[in-house]
Amino acid sequence: MSANNESWGSRVGLILAMAGNAVGLGNFLRFPVQAVQNGGGAFILPYLICFLLMGIPLLFVEWSLGRFGGKLGNHSTPYILDSVSKKPIWKYIGVFGIFTNIAVVAYYTYIESWTFIYVFHSIVGTFTGMGKDEISLFFDNYVGLTGSDLGIPLLPVLVYVLVMGLNVYILSSGLGGIEKVAKIGMPLLILFGLILAFRGWTMGADFATAEFPDANAWDGINFLWTPQYSSLADPKVWLAAAGQIFFTLSVGMGSIQCYASYVKANEDIALNSITAGFTNELVEIVLGSAIVIPIAAGFLGMDWVLENAGFGMAFQTMPYLFQQWGPAFSMIAGVCWFGLLFFAGITSSLAMGTPWMGFMQDEFGWSKVKGAVSFGIIALIMGLPTVLFYKYGYFDEYDYWGGTVSLVIFALLETILFAWVFGMEKGWEEITRGADIRVPSFYKWIMKYITPALLLLVLLGALFTPVGNDWTSALGSLMDGHGYELDASSLISKISNADLKAQLLSNPEDTELLEKKIFYSTLARTQLVLLFATIAGIVWYSHQKRTNRTL
Are 159 and 117 in contact, with CB atoms under 8 Å apart?
yes
The residue type found at 549 is R
> Which pLDDT score, from 0 to 100, does residue 504 have?
74
Half-sphere exposure of 21 (CA within 13 A, CB side): 33
Beta-bridge partners for 486: 466
Vertex 253, ends 103 and 235: CA angle to 5°? 105
In a domain, 506, yes or no: yes
Tens place of pLDDT for every residue, the chain, 551 residues? 555 667 777 788 888 888 888 888 888 888 888 888 888 888 888 899 999 999 999 999 999 999 999 999 999 999 999 999 878 899 999 999 999 999 999 999 999 999 999 999 999 999 998 999 999 999 999 999 998 888 888 999 999 999 999 999 999 999 889 999 999 999 999 999 999 999 888 888 888 888 888 889 999 989 888 877 777 777 778 878 888 888 788 888 999 999 999 998 889 999 999 998 998 898 898 888 889 999 999 999 999 998 988 888 899 999 999 999 988 899 999 999 999 999 999 999 999 999 999 999 999 999 999 999 999 999 999 999 999 999 999 999 999 899 888 998 999 999 999 999 999 999 999 999 999 999 999 999 999 999 999 999 888 888 888 888 888 888 888 888 888 888 887 888 888 887 777 777 777 777 888 888 889 999 999 999 999 999 999 999 999 998 887 76
Alpha helices in 365-423 (DSSP H): 368-388, 394-397, 406-416
Tell me what pLDDT residue 242 has: 85
Domain assignment present for 543? yes
In the three-class reduction of DSSP (H, G, I as helix; E, B as strand; rest coil), residue 360 is classed as helix
Instruction: Say how many domains are in the chain.
Output: 1
Secondary structure letter of residue 466 according to DSSP = B
Provide the sign of the torsion angle of the four alpha carbons 8, 9, 14, 17, taken in this order. negative
DSSP E strands in 439-503: the ranges are none
- Round to whole Å and give the CA distance between 135 and 131: 6
Burial class of residue 212, CB neighbours in 10 A (0-12, 13-18, 19+): middle
CA angle 387, 241, 314 (to 5 degrees): 40
Q: Across-strand partners of 427?
A: none
CB 260 within 8 A of CB 433: no
List residues bridging with 466 in a β-sheet. 486
Kindly state whether residue 6 falls inside one of the protein's structural domains: no
Evaluate whether 476 touches 483 at the Cβ level (below 8 Å).
no
Q: Other C-beta atoms within 10 Å of 508: how many?
A: 8
Q: CATH code at 285? A: 1.20.1740
What contacts 335, CB < 8 A, 6 or more positions away? 119, 122, 123, 192
Residue 147 forms part of a structural domain: yes
Per-residue confidence (pLDDT) for residue 3, from 0 to 100 = 57
State the pLDDT at residue 228. 75
- Quick one: DSSP state of residue 130? -
CA distance 206 to 217: 9
Q: What's CA 443's distance to the chain center, in Å?
A: 25
SS3 486: strand
> Taking Cα atoms as reference points, which of 185, 159, 155, 157 lies closest to residue 170?
185
Residue 391 domain flag: yes
Annotate 297-331 with b (16+ C-beta within 10 A) or e (fewer). Answer: bbbbbbebbeeebeebbbbbbbbbbbbebeeeebb
Say how far apart CA 35 and CA 302 lie, in whole Å. 13
pLDDT of residue 442: 93
Range of the domain at 144: 11-463+497-550
Residue 306 within any structural domain of the chain: yes
Q: What is the distance between the terminal CA atoms of the chain, rounded to a whole angstrom?
A: 15
Q: Is residue 470 part of a domain?
A: no
Any domain includes 480: no
Distances (CA, A) of 62 to 47, 56, 310, 354, 447: 20, 10, 31, 15, 12
- Helices 175-201, 155-171: inter-axial angle, 10-degree rounding: 120
CA distances from 253 to 51, 65, 384 (A): 17, 13, 22
